[in-house]
Structure 1
Amino acid sequence: MNCRFIVCVCVVLIHCSAFSAVTVKEHGAIGDGVTDDTVAIQKAIDVVGKTGGTLLFPAGTYVVTSVGLRPGVRYLGYGATIKRPAGQGKWVRTFNAAKQGYLHNAETDSPWLTIEGFTFDGNRAEQGEYRKYQLEQAHLIFLSAHKQSKGRLRARVVNCHFQDNVADGLSLYVNVDVRVINCSARDVFRGGITITGGNSRIQVMNFTAEGKTHPTGIDVEVDGAGYGGRKRIELMLSGIHLPDGDFDVGVSDDSVVLGSNISARSPFHLVSRRSRMKFSNSQFGIGRYSGYANRIVNPHDVTFHSCRFEIDPHNDSGKEPGKWAAVHVYWNVGQSSETNQALKLIDCDFGVNQGMAKEADTYAVYCEGDFADRNNRLIMEGGRISADFDHGIWFNQGGNLRLCDTTIAADTGMRLGSSGKWNIDAEVGGIRFLGNRYADIPTHGALNRIFHQNVIIDETSNRITTRYGIVRNRYEGRRIILGENPPTTKTHGLTGDVFRLKHPPADEPMAWICTKPGIDSGAVWSPLSGR
């Protein structure tokens, strides 16, 4: 009997809450798409904001310049469109939680502010020139709290759509705790969701952004410090769909970014300075090799697990020859000298989309130069690099490689570059190589180390190239090379390699060990005793 009573009370409370909602039309809003409803809507917000509750926007189009938002209010707008009037300025933000007199400024977190069910129309065609960022602050929703106060602004943005804006759809600044659920954006210039402020916790679930004029995706560039001077954020991304690209995430200050079930096309850009990122079950399209885009920078602790990377020419015509890298790594840029970083690619696959020029030079993983003693490591375990690539793993000049149990079908498996102080330290174990050239080792030096374990290759793939020689490198472990006939001085070998016959004749040696490295000539192979 008590249970029945409780259920009845709950139903009555929900019904009464919906019935008692204040509507903006009660305060003079028209919603005809012509009348400026800003003053009426602000009045309604201020009334409901005194006690909290639901503010209902009946179906219609409401012309709004800028209104301040009160925490503790549920702004409910299924069937309602909030439209920016023509000719608004750079700092006119439509729904603005930081408007003068409305900014949350307290030592405790705010009551929840909920924005639900709206379409936000930035009326981009009537705003004037914006493509050189003349209107870059004119966001459709702007959420922030006072940067010098401990309390965060807590907000939910649910089932909202952003379209045709000259700046951001949803802009999140300092000291916010925000949930974005089941939202979308189209043709928004700077980003569908943009995050620029620290000391924030943000969760984005089921978000789609696209655009024929602007790709509209997700942009994270935290340049504003929150409470305590911190730029740290916690960001969780799940169910993200960016069919037209623009996945740009840059964080620092011990931030944490976790992502799953992301599908994003180029452009793609990550910066993880002294921060942690982990992505799983996701697919990323990567554009043309570049010094400022389509790259991973300062990967302090970055992991991709069960992800797929594809060279994707859709935003940058692949018909033009050039360099393309599915993963392009800058361990340091400018004056930075980060150490002990790790980029981990676990059970990841690499491919090339259709439409690439035959003359294009393609790389699965391309690492820019680094000092091996900085201990910045590329760690690859499992996964597959397809035969569509010219190069599998390319170390331009120095660095650390840990490669294990990966299938590499690229034409050239590895390029282990070094020069002077730019030493290479590579550990390769259990890989399956199906290409034509096992490795390019351009030069040699006493501080270079190349270690092999549990690597078995066919003699048809045992091709190594160099420019200046390979003799002075330090080789540890061994590869096992399978061939039809005994090795000669022209058989390519690294010190410690073992060559075995596939079909050894009776009473003849079946295995030889390489005691001096060489390619095309100079290698020394000595028979191993026993069969």
Structure 2
Amino acid sequence: MTTVKIDIKTMGATTHPDDRVVMHAPEVRARIGGGLVSTAPLEVPLVDGVATLENVEPGPMLIRFECLGIADTMEKLGIVPDSGVWTLDEIISGKLTWTPPVVSEGLQKIIDQMNLALDSVGSAVEGEMGGLIRSAESAAQTSAMYSETSAIFSNSANVRATIAETAASNAVARVDALEAVSGLGPSTPVDGQTASLVLQSDSLTRSALDGAVTAHTGMYPVESYGAVGDGVADDTVAIQAAIDAATSAGGGTIFFRPGAMYLVKTLNVSEGITLSGYGSKLLRPANTPNWVRTITNQNRAYVGPKDSEKMIIIRGLTVDGNLANQGAYENYELQQSMLLQFQGDPTQPGRVRVLLEDVTTNNCVSDGVHVWRNVDITIRNHRANDCFRGGLVASGGHSIIRVEGYRGGGTIRGAHIDIEIDSAGYGGSLRTDIYLTDAVELTRAKFTDNFDGKAGAIIRLDRCVLLSGVVWVLGSEEKGFADLQVKNSTLHTYATLYGNSIINPQGAIFENVKLYGHHVDGATERRVINIRPNNLGKSPTKSSIKFINCDLMVAEPGGSSQWIGYAREAADNLSHTMEIIGGNITTAFRGVQLPSGHAVIGGGVKIDAPTPIFVNNDGARPQYTVLGDIKFGATATQEFFTYGSGAQSTIEHSGTVVDVAVNNSIGTQTGWGGQIYRGRRTLLVDAPPTATTTGIRGDIARLKTPVAGAAYEWICTTSGSTNAAWKVLTTIPT
């Protein structure tokens, strides 16, 4: 046997009474002289930084310093030689060797089975902890970035970190329980950490080890039920057997081996089941027919008066739809072949609770994740690639969707988000609340993102980047309206005449949002946003939307007209309102087009367009525009333009200041008497105004540099751009 001497002072470290070194074998192996070497950790306390270990079993050893004076706490692999006296420095130097004992084939199989089982436990614990720790770190980072919600996110981080710590403490107990089957454990002496090899029948067989794992951890390794994991053999029956065994026991964790690929048709799950598959993949067989879902609870749908106490949990799995080998799908031949699909029973108010963490859905002829009715789902760190109908799709009411981290992309189809509620949940409700945080589309998808809100639904987006264009359907008089708020996000749109619409907004708010309008081949009009208050069913009697510090712009030149289209198709009243407060609007044609309704534009917003504001009152639709503090860009050739022969538009100025040297052109098709003007502008002039100084009756012209004894302010008494009349209002005394 070998003696190991430890002295951390030779490593330049200071000492502390609580210093210790933790040592353990990296895997179960045969002991020289018989028996097995345990993987249980041995904690060696140091006295003044020194300790001596006698009769240490030769072979590989993992060593970790838990010493106040040593910052590096990573485990180091060392080799304990066959005999002699060695320092710990020498053991971890990588220069020493040992002679493994000769092991019979039968004993080696037992050792291999034990190590596989131990690895399964360790990998599962590591995967669970990894997801929890990443969630904790994400919540902590969010707390630091957004101080206004720091209390909520800090609490979330603390909770998740506590769960991760609990998982860590349970890990040792799980390994100890497994090793106890063979008589190994933490109390085994350091002299080789030996234990008698129990030879009774079935005592160390794979089934006994798996039984120990399941009994002490609630884990069901799918290989124990016959799964192969080579991507060729059909593992559906084996994995379903593991799920059914866990279900019969009241729930449990189905463990998928890291690095394995399981060929699977359909897995039926229910609440209380966790699928843990960090580093493993489920692959859909070629030519899978329509209506086959890879993971679903459709045959075990939850029904109850309250939300389910237990959850369906999926962690770490990659689910691949094998799109290239599924046949025709682009005409929706396989649109019901979702990868993950969840639902509750709408005859009762209870929702099934679902948690997805670190799940990836790839190459699907339909949806990556589909949420139907009566579902309460939380999705964290989801990655979707090339999912034809969408990476995340919802179609059923009485549901709640929370997303904390989504990445949609791919090179073939992309993976957009589609919330299109057309199937009622409990009580006939079509309401589905959506909370989307940190959702990013990495590539543009084939279809447009869609958010369909009905019956008082709540839609919240924060820190999102959507590349595929967005249509917001915010309800109707018959089905109720949605509450929409979008903040701190970037939205790309691909506008046609009626594309990228906000339909029936009721108090919708966009704050700190960047909106980019892109050219569409063949489209003559490009509207970054269309507000359409009468598109669905009965026209609402009122609508409202507010943009706060938003940047709206055309992304690239092209097309015959480019604008931001607001308040389009409003009903014939002024109860449809839109506010633009601050921010920037940049286009190559028109800035804001206002065909009807009530608009307020100000708050320091900068509009850089040849026609910043276009008031288009064609037909019988009235228009009332309030212009406040607006800054005009270098391309602006006029402040606003009024057009049409229908109902008179009203233009009210409130705190508007215009530098005449920059822009003071007003265009009108109907003449100065064709509109109603209220309020007044303040015009900053370098010289006294003349008949060609465009003015609206009531405007004040004010010299930028007052001159003693000369006129300082003038008031416009007759509107016009070539025949305006001005009267001295104030004079600077001498």
> What is residue 251 of structure 1 aligned with on the other side?
453
Kindly state the Cα deviation for residue 252 of structure 1 after the two structures are TM-superposed. Answer: 1.1
For 1:147, what is the secondary structure of its paired residue? coil
Q: After superposition, give the CA deviation of every residue in 1:230-270 in whole Å (9 maximum; x if it has no partner).
A: 11112111111112234321111100011110011132221
Match of 1:35 among 233, 244, 253: 233
For 2:643, what is the secondary structure of its paired residue? coil
- Greater CA drift, 178-187 or 495-504: 495-504
Match of 2:423 among 199, 219, 224: 224
- Greater CA drift, 244-253 or 135-144: 244-253
Kindly state the Cα deviation for residue 476 of structure 1 after the two structures are TM-superposed. Answer: 1.5
Q: 1:446 to 1:174 in 2, by over 3 A?
A: closer
Q: After superposition, give the CA deviation of every residue in 1:348-385 in whole Å (9 maximum; x if it has no partner).
A: 112333x433x542223443132462511111111122
Kindly state the Cα deviation for residue 117 of structure 1 after the two structures are TM-superposed. Answer: 0.8
Matches within 5 A, 1:268-307: 268-273=470-475, 274-291=481-498, 293-307=499-513
Q: 1:501 to 1:176 in 2, by over 3 A?
A: same
User: CA separation in 2, counterparts of 1:240 and 1:203?
Assistant: 11
> What is residue 297 of structure 2 aligned with on the other side?
97
User: CA separation in 1, counterparts of 2:255 and 2:167?
Assistant: 26
AA at the equivalent of 2:418: D
Kindly state the Cα deviation for residue 87 of structure 1 after the two structures are TM-superposed. Answer: 1.2
Match of 1:85 among 253, 271, 285: 285
Whether the aligned pair in 1 keeps the contact of 2:416 and 2:468 (CA below 8 Å) is no
> What is residue 209 of structure 1 aligned with on the other side?
408
Kindly state the Cα deviation for residue 505 of structure 1 after the two structures are TM-superposed. Answer: 5.1
- Greater CA drift, 45-54 or 462-471: 462-471
> What is residue 257 of structure 2 aligned with on the other side?
58
Q: After superposition, give the CA deviation of every residue in 1:478-523 in whole Å (9 maximum; x if it has no partner).
A: 111122333333332222211223345554433222233223x343
Q: After superposition, give the CA deviation of every residue in 1:141-166 in whole Å (9 maximum; x if it has no partner).
A: 00000111111110101111111100
Whether the aligned pair in 2 keeps the contact of 1:187 and 1:216 (CA below 8 Å) is yes
Whether the aligned pair in 2 keeps the contact of 1:108 and 1:151 (CA below 8 Å) is yes
Kindly state the Cα deviation for residue 447 of structure 1 after the two structures are TM-superposed. Answer: 5.0
For 2:691, what is the secondary structure of its paired residue? coil
> What is residue 3 of structure 1 aligned with on the other side?
none
Match of 1:312 among 514, 518, 542: 518
Q: After superposition, give the CA deviation of every residue in 1:181-226 in whole Å (9 maximum; x if it has no partner).
A: 0110111100000011111111001110012211211110011111
AA at the equivalent of 2:398: N
AA at the equivalent of 1:114: I
Whether the aligned pair in 2 keeps the contact of 1:201 and 1:234 (CA below 8 Å) is yes
| Larger helix percent | 2
> What is residue 454 of structure 1 aligned with on the other side?
655
> What is residue 305 of structure 2 aligned with on the other side?
107
AA at the equivalent of 2:527: A
User: CA separation in 1, counterparts of 2:666 and 2:169?
Assistant: 78
User: CA separation in 2, counterparts of 1:7 and 1:88?
Assistant: 38
Whether the aligned pair in 1 keeps the contact of 2:497 and 2:523 (CA below 8 Å) is no
> What is residue 363 of structure 1 aligned with on the other side?
563
- Greater CA drift, 361-370 or 183-192: 361-370
User: CA separation in 2, counterparts of 1:433 and 1:306?
Assistant: 20
5+ residue gaps in structure 2? 1-165, 178-213, 476-480
Whether the aligned pair in 2 keeps the contact of 1:371 and 1:423 (CA below 8 Å) is no
Whether the aligned pair in 2 keeps the contact of 1:444 and 1:471 (CA below 8 Å) is no
AA at the equivalent of 1:438: E
> What is residue 384 of structure 1 aligned with on the other side?
584
Report percent identity of matched pairs. 29
Whether the aligned pair in 2 keeps the contact of 1:114 and 1:156 (CA below 8 Å) is yes
Match of 1:430 among 626, 629, 634: 629
TM-score, normalisation: structure 2: 0.67
Whether the aligned pair in 2 keeps the contact of 1:446 and 1:472 (CA below 8 Å) is no
User: CA separation in 2, counterparts of 1:69 and 1:389?
Assistant: 54
AA at the equivalent of 2:389: R
User: CA separation in 1, counterparts of 2:670 and 2:285?
Assistant: 67
User: CA separation in 2, counterparts of 1:321 and 1:32?
Assistant: 50
Kindly state the Cα deviation for residue 525 of structure 1 after the two structures are TM-superposed. Answer: 2.6
- The reply to whether residue 464 of structure 1 matches residue 666 of structure 2 is yes
Match of 2:267 among 58, 61, 67: 67
- The reply to whether residue 264 of structure 1 matches residue 466 of structure 2 is yes
Q: After superposition, give the CA deviation of every residue in 1:90-136 in whole Å (9 maximum; x if it has no partner).
A: 2111101112xx11122222211101111111111111111111111
User: CA separation in 2, counterparts of 1:229 and 1:516?
Assistant: 61
User: CA separation in 2, counterparts of 1:7 and 1:261?
Assistant: 30
Greater RCO structure (CA 8 Å; 6+ sep): 1
> What is residue 40 of structure 2 aligned with on the other side?
none
Kindly state the Cα deviation for residue 468 of structure 1 after the two structures are TM-superposed. Answer: 2.1
AA at the equivalent of 2:265: T
User: CA separation in 2, counterparts of 1:485 and 1:302?
Assistant: 45
Whether the aligned pair in 2 keeps the contact of 1:496 and 1:513 (CA below 8 Å) is yes
User: CA separation in 2, counterparts of 1:128 and 1:180?
Assistant: 30
- The reply to whether residue 49 of structure 1 matches residue 247 of structure 2 is yes
Kindly state the Cα deviation for residue 529 of structure 1 after the two structures are TM-superposed. Answer: 4.0
User: CA separation in 1, counterparts of 2:167 and 2:539?
Assistant: 62
User: CA separation in 2, counterparts of 1:142 and 1:91?
Assistant: 11
For 2:239, what is the secondary structure of its paired residue? helix
AA at the equivalent of 2:269: L
Q: 1:351 to 1:7 in 2, by over 3 A?
A: closer
Number of residue pairs aligned between Structure 1 and Structure 2: 514
Match of 1:179 among 378, 390, 398: 378
Whether the aligned pair in 2 keeps the contact of 1:475 and 1:496 (CA below 8 Å) is no
> What is residue 515 of structure 1 aligned with on the other side?
717
Whether the aligned pair in 2 keeps the contact of 1:46 and 1:70 (CA below 8 Å) is no
Whether the aligned pair in 2 keeps the contact of 1:372 and 1:425 (CA below 8 Å) is no
> What is residue 326 of structure 1 aligned with on the other side?
528
> What is residue 26 of structure 2 aligned with on the other side?
none
User: CA separation in 2, counterparts of 1:139 and 1:452?
Assistant: 55
AA at the equivalent of 1:200: S
User: CA separation in 2, counterparts of 1:371 and 1:267?
Assistant: 26
For 1:528, what is the secondary structure of its paired residue? strand
> What is residue 407 of structure 1 aligned with on the other side?
606
- The reply to whether residue 239 of structure 1 matches residue 438 of structure 2 is yes
- The reply to whether residue 196 of structure 1 matches residue 399 of structure 2 is no
5+ residue gaps in structure 1? 1-5
Kindly state the Cα deviation for residue 400 of structure 1 after the two structures are TM-superposed. Answer: 1.1
TM-score, normalisation: structure 1: 0.91
Match of 1:499 among 661, 684, 701: 701
User: CA separation in 2, counterparts of 1:525 and 1:49?
Assistant: 87
Q: 1:488 to 1:335 in 2, by over 3 A?
A: farther
AA at the equivalent of 2:279: G
User: CA separation in 1, counterparts of 2:646 and 2:728?
Assistant: 28
- The reply to whether residue 144 of structure 1 matches residue 343 of structure 2 is yes
Matches within 5 A, 1:479-494: 479-494=681-696
Q: 1:237 to 1:443 in 2, by over 3 A?
A: same
